[in-house]
Structure 1
């Protein structure tokens, strides 16, 4: 049965249309011509089947079932720190690592590597053992994860941003495009693992000479403890939050524990709707010129 836009709430939210359709040219063309989500699903399935059929080309000795498991894991766990035991408890970590490296070389997935963010370039202080994954395309990711148009249309904004990988994948693939012409274009994130709790910032990018931490979160600033910790430790001059609200700028006042001492933190937080990610470079550039050196 065809799912026509007039029968689906997805048409009321263009951004959610993109979450479902994605940016693969054939999928975009199918939707532009037919306005049918079913037609898009057929394209997604065809592309996914093509990738799976290509697995034997990655190496004659590679186990195809294992490659398929790694492929599906990457799509269903975008934005999650990779632990090889979560992919398979039967396979050796070194073997799974090689499979992931092959998918990265084929540009089916890409890594977001932990950086200590001690200065520019961010890639100078990487911990390459700690990384998250981004899939090739948000539309394909959702197709593999079993999220159809109806499921995406029925998610409320808070759940969509806070609980799923969709928003993080969406922002991540657009950041990749933003940095595509930069000599240091690998995406990074920040992680501090403690005995009692961890702190993690979704992405950290370098734009206009600024180290910019980026959180993807819906809710009050008081819930952004990891961002507070980063700003207190790294003393960046601005922070960005992508959510479902209108653009705003606020001064955040928070208290963190750093070096066994309490520390007051104050920083400007630029809250942006997710669809403005393509303008992030312009926004950071304009802000950077206004900041006092």
Structure 2
């Protein structure tokens, strides 16, 4: 079983007195069902799983009155072999987006508080099936992503002591021994080529075969394309898929990684395609990094909605859009030019997104100064540059000085260092720990 950080969150949730229902959200195939099933096996005497895609007839449980006694009775008729014991049985409502009244019922499960209820779903942000009454205030939320680099290291058998050593090195800004740093960079390049989708990672752990990895990546990409075709409106289906499949070209095949509609279709314009971008965001299929016109808190006040970069929600899906040979170049560190810079930018974006940061970038057409990423942490603006080699980060240095920012990060294919200007240079993989 792949070890996931989200397990700790659920363990804390289960200890909460008068707990709300827990809704596990996230993109398709990131391991939501697997996580809950294995958690239930270790923490409950009994487990009832209702998957509304596999058992559409189970929606009948949630028709009519939504009192807990009525729903419990209906579940007992449906699953006569189950005991359904308060606090000892976990009720798991999977693919809950397929049953709008089951979403509404979460309020009443939470108020009653006799049973622990976890729900899971994808595409909850779109108007596919909207609950008649959304249970605001009665649900705790857990956002699940694909594996991050730290979880990938666990999967590869790297000890917790080694991970702690890396975190301590970040805290102390101590140079990492060359052999360890080289090995971690090698693992990170493997991670970039594989991505964090659990099925992909497990296949790599089991086989170490990149061709088997590639097959699963492409199957996952086809699944995402199916979701677009199945759930998007007739007006958006083709446009959304074109936008999505253009991402590899937008991010890896050109110097300017700003999302350009002309890369989707010759003569393409925002007027035609922006609604499709919005749909992909709500469906958890892409995430954005928006341009800001100034580097000050709060960055949202300076963000431009019409000037952005768009990324896949996991590197596994980006890799599936490219030819198999790119994996070899990534792992062997033989990429050059815009592809190398683009790959590293996507990897840093992926890590920051999985840590829950909202992403921004800065670009001034007049001064030609730009920053790859800017995040906010504890009320402070944190600028970030990504370099394919240890070149001087002139824009980062000048913008930090001009905006009186005390520290920023430069991620490189190298080791730890710190400059007089307060620029903290880190190996690429250290983004997992900031």
Alignment TM-score, normalising by the size of structure 2? 0.52
Contact 2:390–2:412 (CA<8 Å) still a contact in 1? no
> Contact conserved, 2:390 with 2:413, CA < 8 A, in 1?
no
> 1:249–1:269: 8 Å Cα contact kept in structure 2?
yes
Matched, 1:46 2:215: no
Q: Is structure 2 residue 182 aligned with structure 1 residue 28?
A: no
Partners of 1:118 and 1:217 in 2: CA distance = 20
Task: Give 2:330's aligned residue.
Answer: 152
2:194–2:319 CA contact under 8 A, matched in 1:
no
> Hey, what does 1:188 align to over in structure 2?
360
Structure 1 residue 160 displacement after superposition: 7.6
Unaligned runs of 5+ in 1: 1-9, 252-266, 281-293
Whichever structure has more strand as a proportion of its residues is 1
Size of the alignment, in residue pairs? 246
- SS of alignment partner, residue 226 of structure 2: helix
Structure 2 residue 60 is the aligned partner of structure 1 residue 60: no
Q: Which aligned pairs between 1:278-289 and structure 2 lie closer than 5 A?
A: 278-280=432-434
Task: Name 2:124's counterpart in structure 1.
Answer: none
Trace 1:49-198 onto structure 2 (pairs within 5 A). Answer: 49-56=222-229, 57-62=231-236, 64=238, 66-78=239-251, 80-148=257-325, 149-156=327-334, 159=336, 163-178=340-355, 180=356, 185-194=357-366, 198=368
- Cα pair distance change 1:140/1:11, threshold 3 Å: farther
Structure 2 gap segments, 5+ residues each: 1-182
Instruction: Return the match for 1:246 from 390, 415, 420.
Output: 415
Larger radius of gyration: 2
Counterparts of 1:39 and 1:47, CA distance in 2: 13
Provide the aligned C-alpha RMSD in A: 2.5
The one-character-per-residue Cα deviations of 1:174-221 (angstroms, maximum 9, x if unpaired) are 11222x2xxxx4211111111xx5221000112233321100014455
2:237 matched to 1:237?
A: no
Confirm or deny: 8 A CA contact 1:114 1:191 kept in the other structure: yes
Deviates more, 1:12-21 or 1:87-96: 87-96
How far the C-alpha of 1:72 sits from its partner, in A, is 1.4
d(CA) in 2 for partners of 1:90 and 1:140?
A: 26
**4+ residue stretches of structure 1 with deviation over 3 A?**
154-157, 159-164, 218-222
Distance 2:391 2:337 in 1: 18
State TM-score, norm by structure 1.
Answer: 0.76
SS at match of 2:415: coil
